[in-house]
Structure 1
Amino acid sequence: MNTNEIRAEYDSRSITVYQAYAKAIALPAIQHNRFVPPFSVHRMTWIKPSFLWLMERSNWGLKSGQEMILAIRMTRQGWEEALSQAVLTAYNPSIYRNYDEWATQFEQARVHVQWDPERTLRGKSLPFNSIQVGLSRHIIEQYVNEWTMEIRDATPLVRKIYALLQEGKEAQAKTLLPGERVYLVSPTVARRIGMR
C-alpha cells in the first residue's frame, strides 16, 4: 500500500501550492497578486503542493480551461489551519468510527483531503501518494484574503520543461523542477488526514 506523504517547496513562513486555470482567471490573479473575479469564492477550489501531480492532472497545461499554471505561495499557518479542519474524501476505517460518522463529517467539511499516486516526469505512478486539498466556499475567502502571499505565473517554466521532455532531454528537464521535500505535520493532523 502506498504511503501518504506531503512533499512541497516551502520555507519557514510559506508553502507553494499549484493550480491550473484558464487565462480569464489566471491573468487577473497574476496582475493583482491575489485572486479576483471571475475567480469564484462560492465554489470549491483544489490546491496541490506537488508540481508533477498537477502536470499529470492538467496534462502540462494542455487541457482546456487549465492552460495557465499558477504557483501560489501561501502561509504555512493557513496551510496547517486548512489541514486541521480536513476530512478525507474516502472512508477510512482506521480514522473514523464507522461509515456514517465519516459521511456526516464529509458533508459538513470545510476542507477535503484526497490522496493520489505521485508522478514521475513521464507521468508514471510512484509508490507514495501526494496530497490535494479542497477548500470549500466556507474557507476560500481566508485563502484569498489572508493566506495567499504571492501568485506567480509558472506557465513559462511548465512549457520549458515540457519542451525538453518532448526533445528527450529528461535529465535537463529534471534540473528545472521545484525543490520539493517532505513536509512534516503534527501527529494530530497526520492522523486526521490519513498519514498514520
Structure 2
Amino acid sequence: MAQEKSAVPYHQIRALYDDDSITVYQAYNAKIADEAVKQQTLKVPGWSSERMTWIKPSWSWMMNQSRVLAIRMSHSSFETILLKSSLSNSSQEKQPVRVQWDPERTPSTKNKLPYRSIQIGIGRSVAETWAQDMILSIEDVTEKAQKMHEDVEAGMSEDELAEKYIEERVYEIKDEELRKIIRLDSLEDHETES
C-alpha cells in the first residue's frame, strides 16, 4: 500500500532527550502520581506490574490526561526494553514488550499526520525491573499539559503550539537488530505474511 509522501519517515521515534537520558510520558491517577513524584519511583501503592503499562515519548498525546508524569530513563534502558519487544499487530511470537506505531497528530491533536509515533507497552515480566531499576527521575508535568490544552481551546495555531510546547527531536537508533525488531524502517504497519 503506497503511503502519502512525507519528509518524515513513516516510522520515527521523536523524543525529548539529552546525552544521558530519554523522557517518556505516562498518565496516572492523582494518588499514584503524587506518590511517584514524592518517592521518585513507580513502586508505590496503587501501581501494579500485573498489567501492561504503556509509555509514549510523544508529548502531544498527553494533553487531555488528568495527571501526566515525565519519566526519565537512560538510553541503554530504553533500548533494552525495545529489544524485548514485538509489534502488537505481528503474527510472530509475542514478546514481553509490545510496540505500536500510532498515527502522530499535530500539537492540538485535532489532525492526524501521515507518519507514526511509537507507543511501548511494558508487560508484567519486565515492568517490575523497569519501575524499580530503570527510572532515573519522575516529574509531574500536568500543569504544562493543562496550559497547552488551554492554548488549544483559545485557538493558538499549530505552529505556535509546536514552538511553545514540543521539545522532541529525532531519536536515532543505530542498532540494526533493534531497528528490525521494531520495524523502524517499515513503510507500512502490517507485516506481509510469508
Instruction: Note if 1:12 corresponds to 2:19.
Output: yes
**Secondary structure of residue in 1 paired with 2:27:** strand
Q: Give the aligned partner of residue 70 of structure 2.
A: 71
Structure 1 position 113 matched with structure 2 position 106: no
Shift of 1:172: 4.4
Task: Give ranges in structure 2 of 5+ residues lacking alignment.
Answer: 5-9, 186-194
TM-score by length of 2: 0.85
TM-score (norm. length: structure 1): 0.84
Q: What is the alpha-carbon root mean square deviation over aligned residues?
A: 1.4
Q: Distance in 2 between matches of 1:49 and 1:83?
A: 13
1:95-110 map, 5 Å: 99=91, 102=92, 105-106=93-94, 109-110=95-96
The alignment status of 1:189 with 2:188, answered yes or no, reads: no
Give the aligned partner of residue 46 of structure 1. Answer: 54
Code of the aligned partner of 1:24:
K
Between the two proteins, what is the percent identity of the paired residues?
37
Contact (CA 8 Å) 2:62, 2:145: kept in 1 or not? no
Of residues 127, 141, 144 in structure 2, which corresponds to 1:140? 127
Counterpart-to-counterpart distance in 1, 2:62 and 2:171: 18
- Specify the code of the residue in structure 1 equivalent to 2:184: M
Q: How many residues align?
A: 174
Contact persistence 1:53–1:130 (CA under 8 A): no
Residue 117 of structure 2 is aligned with which of 114, 126, 130? 130
Q: Could you list the per-position Cα deviations for residues 136-172 of structure 1 after superposition, in whole angstroms to 9, with x for gaps in the alignment?
A: 1101122111110111111000111111111122354
- 1:8–1:15 contact (8 Å) kept in structure 2: yes
In the alignment, the residues of structure 2 paired with residue 128 and residue 26 of structure 1 have an alpha-carbon distance, to the nearest angstrom, of 31
Q: 1:174 aligns with which of 162, 168, 176?
A: 162
- Where structure 1 has 5 or more consecutive residues not aligned to the other structure, the ranges are 62-66, 92-98
> Which consecutive segments of 4 or more residues in structure 1 shift more than 2 A?
169-176
- Give yes or no for contact 2:56–2:118 (8 Å, CA) kept in 1: yes
In structure 1, the partner of 2:29 is 22
